[in-house]
Amino acid sequence: MINLVYNEMLKIVRKKRLFIIAAIVAVLVSLFTYAQFKQVETIRERIGTTDWRTQLQQQIIDTQNRLNSTGISEEWKKFLKIRLQQQQYYLDNDINPMAPGAPTFMRMFIENSIELFLPLLVMVIAADLVSSEASGGTIKLLLTRPVKRWKILMSKYIAMILSTSFIVFSVAVLSYAISGIVFGYGGWNLPLLTGFSIQGEELNTTGVHLIPQWKYLLIEFGLAFFVSLVVGTLTFMLSVLLRSTAAVMGIMLAALISGAILSSMVSSWESAKYLFMVNLRLTSYVSGMAPPIDGMTLSFSMTVLAIWALVALIISFYVFTKRDVY
């Protein structure tokens, strides 16, 4: 089994996909670092101070003003209200949620990439694991070996898990290393608040507690890994079902992008919360953002995602072991 997995990893590494993905991440991180740097500069120019309390207070007031203007949608209003209460809570407890530093940048980057960017990268690896063997005809060579079919598929699945964690790892390392050049490498022990729960338009702060940033990051990257794994498993299933890698990518792309769009407009369609793509933003629960649909919680989203992945896994194994290959 170990040899089979090693064999699969060999194929993935030979294709150089992992390095291309790392290069993509490096370019994007550099871009965002520059954008963030510019933003910090503009704010400093506008308010004339680097004091975070003044900046946060100004943000709160700006949000209050936006809430007062007419013509903003109810969902957006609710989102703003919850963020407002959270910012006020940070301010009242004298904690700076945005202290500059590479770890803060990492946090921001993973929170923004968990929904679309990271799944896309995972998809690139997982999409052709099986389908490329089918379209290239090499599947026959593989299946003529005296190894059980489920073992072959299992080795491919484990290889997918390993490369997924490699991708998450490269996001972590690159975002730390590159942004640190500009923002400095410190800030691992910065205290952050978590445990907010949202009830309607109110922010419940009874479960709020303080954790150091390194733990916060560990949690967020753990969740990012979980999300990547689920998306990877779904892609894996499609890769088993379809012969064409392009079709697999097309379907996954459509699903992921529709998720990003749906999240912003499904609040009135309640049963949409059982779709996997609106549940991908797991980090929002940790930081205390309003979920796209009322009643969604971290445990709910994780359960939904786990069920989707499990069903996908069962289907892939069933189909792969029963299918005629000719």
- Footprint of another protein (CB under 8 A): 6, 9-10, 13-14, 18, 47-49, 51, 53-54, 56-58, 61, 64-65, 68-69, 91-95, 161-163, 165-166, 168-169, 191, 193-195, 206-211, 215, 218-219, 221-223, 225-226, 285-286, 298-299
The Cα-based distances of 168 to 21, 96, 186, 201, 247 in angstroms read 11, 26, 21, 33, 25
> 46 or 145, CB closer to another protein?
46
Note the Cα 319 to chain centre separation in Å: 29
> At closest approach, how far in Å is the CB of 143 from another protein?
24
> 24 or 262, CB closer to another protein?
24
Number of H-type helices and E-type strands within the chain = 13, 4
DSSP secondary-structure letter at 197? E
> 117 or 166, CB closer to another protein?
166
CB contact at 8 A, 151 and 157: no
Q: How many residues does the chain have?
A: 326
Supply φ then ψ for residue 280, to 5 degrees: -75, -25
H or E element that contains 119 = helix 117-126
> At closest approach, how far in Å is the CB of 183 from another protein?
19
> At closest approach, how far in Å is the CB of 223 from another protein?
6
> 163 or 316, CB closer to another protein?
163
> 298 or 315, CB closer to another protein?
298
> At closest approach, how far in Å is the CB of 7 from another protein?
10
> At closest approach, how far in Å is the CB of 89 from another protein?
9
The Cα-based distances of 100 to 103, 119, 125, 169 in angstroms read 8, 27, 33, 22
